[in-house]
């Protein structure tokens, strides 16, 4: 499959996995490896000072082999998000980050006004920013104009598993965009991931659908295939929909 | 001994302790964390030089699982 290019860097996989909500770091790493992803999202949090011997994510997933995409999950204004990403850049030493400024705890819907403010500052500070956003085509265009490295509209609410609720908007966003469009949030099962890819999206970002599956490792593998299948289906170009039947077998030479 | 704020809680350290000293006292690997002092990032090349003072607000963060 052709490679996904984000901020000038090539990635083989079009699937990005989150690393939250797994039973433990071993399961996280097993799922990530099974899905053969190149990018994982990570959060930035305080070290537990009372037990600094407890295992760390970096001991299970090597940031030299897999791209860590630090997020700003849990930030409700641009200041918190900026502080988090500056720390993340220092901890990791790379510029590619995921900006996610939330509006409220009930919906975890993106606060687009604060997101735009933060994006402007991050661009000035030479970050490459993948932006979690609403599925509003105009706002998505604005993000691109401000220099977003990728646009990441929600399919449905974070962690809801409700799939892609507004396919039309997602396709408009994709049609307008010159940077990659990655559906972030809402994917519930493999077919949802395929639908995102069939809409022409460049990738999908999934966490809960894998981490909360009965068998996360198997679901990770399913998502890998779903993304590949959806992408190939998109590239192949679907048949035209018809309102009447059209036999697949020749009508000539029937025994009668 | 002096008192600093470490990850939101009061914490006592010896006087003239550098950030490197603090990290090794906590058994933390420098490469795996980032440090902020009084809401300003401390670049890791300064961990050795930076001596902590009374009431410094120190944040030590790392990467954890997240979506």
Rounded-to-integer distance, Cα A117 and Cα A128, Å: 15
Nearest CA to A3 out of A14, A16, A18, A19 is that of: A14
Residue A66: pLDDT band by 50, 70, 90 thresholds?
A: very high
Set of chain B residues whose Cβ sits within 8 Å of the Cβ of A67: none
Set of chain B residues whose Cβ sits within 8 Å of the Cβ of A56: 32, 62-64
Asked whether the beta carbons of residue A70 and residue B63 sit closer than 8 angstroms, the reply is yes
Active-site choice (A21, A34, A65, A98):
A98
Whether the Cβ atoms of residue A224 and residue A35 lie closer than 8 Å to each other: yes
Both tokens assigned to A145: 């104009």
Q: Rounded mean pLDDT of A145-157?
A: 97
pLDDT of A243 above 90: yes
Q: Which residue has the tokens 């991050």?
A: A122
pTM: 0.91
Contacts of A202 (CB under 8 A, 6+ apart): A4, A14, A150, A174, A180, A181, A182
Nearest CA to B39 out of B14, B1, B8 is that of: B8
pLDDT of A85 above 90: yes
B40 vs chain A: nearest CA distance in angstroms?
A: 9
A23 is catalytic: no
Q: What's residue A151's pLDDT?
A: 98
For the stretch A129-142, pLDDT in tens is 999 999 999 999 99
Q: What's residue A251's pLDDT?
A: 86
Residue A195: alpha-carbon gap to chain centroid: 14
Would you identify the CATH topology of the domain B2-62? Answer: Ubiquitin-like (UB roll) (3.10.20)
DSSP A16: E
Asked whether the beta carbons of residue A21 and residue B62 sit closer than 8 angstroms, the reply is no
pLDDT of A247 above 80: yes
Average pLDDT over chain A, rounded to whole? 95
The answer to whether A158 faces chain B, any CB pair under 8 Å, is yes
Q: What's residue A193's pLDDT?
A: 98
> Hey, where are the domains in chain B?
2-62
Beta strands per DSSP E along chain A: 4-6, 9-11, 15-18, 39-46, 67-70, 96-99, 128-133, 150-153, 182-184, 203-206
Q: Which of B34, B44, B67 sits opposite A208 (nearest CB)?
A: B67
């Amino acid at each position: 499959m052709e490679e996904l290019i984000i901020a000038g860097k090539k990635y083989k996989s079009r699937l990005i996995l989150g690393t939250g909500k797994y039973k433990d770091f071993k399961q996280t790493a097993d799922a990530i490896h099974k899905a053969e992803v190149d990018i994982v999202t990570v959060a930035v949090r305080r070290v537990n000072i009372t037990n600094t011997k407890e295992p760390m994510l970096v001991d299970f997933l090597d940031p030299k082999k897999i791209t860590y995409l630090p997020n700003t999950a849990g930030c409700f204004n641009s200041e918190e998000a900026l502080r988090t990403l500056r720390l993340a850049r220092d901890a990791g030493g790379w510029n590619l980050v995921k900006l996610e400024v939330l509006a409220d705890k009930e919906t975890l819907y993106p606060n687009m006004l604060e997101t735009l403010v933060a994006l402007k500052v991050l661009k000035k500070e030479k970050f490459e920013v993948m932006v979690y956003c609403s599925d509003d085509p105009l706002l998505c265009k604005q993000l691109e104009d401000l220099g977003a490295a990728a646009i990441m509209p929600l399919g449905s609410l974070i962690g809801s598993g409700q799939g892609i609720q507004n396919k039309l908007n997602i396709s408009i966003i994709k049609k307008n965009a010159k940077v990659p469009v990655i559906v972030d949030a809402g994917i519930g099962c493999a077919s949802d991931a395929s639908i995102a890819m069939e809409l022409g999206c460049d990738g999908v970002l999934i966490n809960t659908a894998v981490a909360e599956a009965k068998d996360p490792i198997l679901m990770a593998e399913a998502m890998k295939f779903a993304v590949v299948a959806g992408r190939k289906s998109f590239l192949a170009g679907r048949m035209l929909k018809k309102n009447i039947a059209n036999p697949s077998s020749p009508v000539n030479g029937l025994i009668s | 001994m002096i008192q600093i704020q470490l990850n939101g809680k009061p914490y006592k350290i010896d006087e003239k302790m550098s950030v490197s000293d603090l990290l090794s006292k906590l058994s933390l690997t420098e490469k795996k964390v980032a440090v902020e002092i009084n809401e300003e990032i401390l670049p890791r090349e300064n961990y050795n030089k930076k001596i902590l003072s009374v009431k410094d607000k120190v944040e030590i963060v790392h990467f954890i699982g997240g979506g």
